[in-house]
Amino acid sequence: MGMDVILPDGARISDLLAHLEIPEGSGYLVSMDNRVKKPEDILKQDAVLHILPALAGG
């Protein structure tokens, strides 16, 4: 499963979420190279990203 998303150079995690129409504060996290990223972090070329429910506990 997965999809390709093309964004301009220098795009940030927040741009990706906006592109996918995921509102801020909706409880999703983005991980890139097995690290949780913040909205202001810059996306890397060809990176594999996971957009995940920010679940905690269990």
DSSP-derived secondary structure for the chain: --------TT-BHHHHHHHTT--TTSSEEEEETTEEE-TTSBPPTT--EEEEE-----
Q: If binding is defined by CB under 8 A, does position 3 make contact with other proteins?
A: no
Nearer to other proteins, 9 or 49 (CB): 49
In whole angstroms, how close is the CB of 58 to other proteins at the nearest point?
4
In whole angstroms, how close is the CB of 16 to other proteins at the nearest point?
15
Nearer to other proteins, 5 or 52 (CB): 52
Nearer to other proteins, 26 or 45 (CB): 26
User: Measured at the alpha carbon of residue 40, what is the angle toward residues 11 and 33, in degrees to the nearest 5?
Assistant: 75
